[in-house]
Structures are given as structure tokens and as C-alpha cells.
Amino acid sequence: MLEINGYEAMAMLDLDEAERKQLAMHIEGLKESFSALDSVDTSGILPLVSVPQLQNVLREDVADKMMSRDEILKNAPEQYDGYFQVPGTLD
């Protein structure tokens, strides 16, 4: 079975054994199907990240009304005194 613990850590997931086994099987199958890409020579071809030819567009530096603090905090799972509340990050 494909070892996927490293990818779990990268994706910030902690699967149980049943899920890990099921998904590892699918990932192995998908990975195999990706070998089809090896047959194409892409030397000299630039990656296409997004379809439109985007150009950097700068707006005028004019202050605009954004969401208020209360509106932003409305969807926070926990808040305290106008801030997002998180567990201690320093020992």
C-alpha cells in the first residue's frame, strides 16, 4: 500500500486507518494514470497557469469602505474582545 502519511501532514489531515487504506488505494491508481503525461515532450513549452493573458492592473489609491470588524468576526468560531481567539501558541 502506498505510504500517504507525509501527504496527510502536508494537507493537515489525520485519517483513521479505514480512510487511509481506502484513499491510499485511489491515490495509487491516480498516480499510475498520471504516467500518461510522460509521453508528451513539453520542452520549450511554457506552463499555462491561467487561460486569460492577465496584466497587472493597479487601482487608484482611494480609500474604500471595507467590512467592519464586527462583520468579519461574525463568522469566527471563537472570539474575545474583538479578536479571533486561538489556543496558546507559545509554551
Partner 1 sequence: MDYFVTKYDTNHSGGADCAVLEDSIMKKGSPVTAGSRMLADFISPIDATAVTKLESAGVTILGKMRMDEFGVGGLFPSLETSSCSGAAAAVADGVAAFALCNDYTGAVSLEAAALGLYYIQPTYGTVSRYGLVPAVASMDQIGIICKSLVEGFRALSIISGFDDKDGVMQAEQRLDNDNAQPMEHPEHKLRIALPKNVFSDNFDSISSHLLERLGDVEIVDIELKYSELYAPVMQILCCAEFSNNISRYDGIKFGYRTKEYTSLQELYTKSRTEAFGLEVKLAALMGALVLSQENYTRLYDKAMRIRRLMRDALQFDQCDIIAAPFPCLSRLCGLPAVTMPCGGNALTLMVAPGREDVLNTVLKDRKHI
**Where in 1-91 does DSSP place strands (E)?**
79-80, 83-84
Give the C-alpha separation, 28 to 31, whole Å.
5
Question: Which three three-digit cell numbers place residue 78?
Answer: 471563537
**Under the criterion CB under 8 A, does residue 65 sit at the interface with partner 1?**
no
Dihedral sign for Cα 56, 59, 60, 63, please: negative
Which of 1, 51, 58, 62 binds partner 1 (CB under 8 A)? It is: 51
**Under the criterion CB under 8 A, does residue 49 sit at the interface with partner 1?**
yes
Task: List contacts with partner 1 (CB under 8 A).
Answer: 4, 6-8, 10-15, 19, 22-23, 26-27, 29-31, 33-34, 36-38, 40, 42, 45-52, 54, 57, 59, 67, 71-72, 74-78, 84, 86-89
